[in-house]
Amino acid sequence: MSQMKVTLRVWRQAGPKAKGDFKNYDVVTDSDTSFLETLDILNEQLVENREEPIAFDSDCREGICGMCSLYINGHPHGPATGATTCQLYMRRFKDGETITVEPWRSAAFPVIKDLIVDRNAFDKIQQAGGYVSFNCGGAQDANNLPISKEAADMAMDSATCIGCGACVAACKNGSAMLFVSAKVSQFALLPQGQVERARRARKMVAKMDELGFGNCTNTGACAAECPKNISLSNIARLNREFIKAKFAE
């Protein structure tokens, strides 16, 4: 562990309708300290100086919930690949470096305060998709389930999406296609999701468009920045599901 000093260039915004701006703060931390812990150290300094602490989201700090959604030096969640902000450590940066920290930039994710954005749009898309219909009897023997290992693996890979919004933040169009496609895929690949399959694709895509997310132009930035490495193949599957659903109307 080695001590280091960095300058945090942080976006400050008092509220949704307030005008925001960047402010610089010098912080002394350690190379083995996490980025969020460094923000905690900075907030302690601000409170001691009777200044307003920086508002940012966090919960599990284990890379599970996706709440720690910060745009750091031009990357959603920071420069580490396949990791959330809470899994980012200061050893990724250089002593004396200036680190720019911003909230997600998307019309569908309005800023609430400082680094916190309203991501309820994702919840509304999932709610539009609804539930799955299947009989809840006793658990079947695993070998009797009519699911191939390949399909089960792909469904599980899709289900690892934590809905953090990094895909939207990374996309130049603010598209939510990677998120929506992951949520559609995890059910479309399994027998339990077949009853509402067509309706789910139509409803989720319609809600995504209604909430103001941009169009996908297949640049791949979403998958490159996704902390859970969600595959672009899900977007192709969503397109197929949507087209089939429209023909089924």
pLDDT tens profile 156-191 = 999 999 999 999 999 999 999 999 999 999 999 988
Q: Where in the chain is the domain with CATH 1.10.1060.10?
A: 120-247
Token pair for 187: 């059910």
What is the pLDDT, as a whole number, of residue 149? 87
The model's pTM: 0.92
CATH number at 120-247? 1.10.1060.10
The answer to whether 54 and 42 have CB atoms below 8 angstroms apart is: yes
What is the distance between the alpha carbons of residues 161 and 179, in angstroms, rounded to a whole number? 7
In this prediction, residue 130 carries a pLDDT of: 85
In the chain, CATH 3.10.20.30 covers: 3-113
pLDDT under 70: residue ranges of the chain: 1, 134-137, 139-140, 142, 145, 249
β 75-76/71-72 pair status:
antiparallel
The CATH architecture assigned to 3-113 reads Roll (3.10)
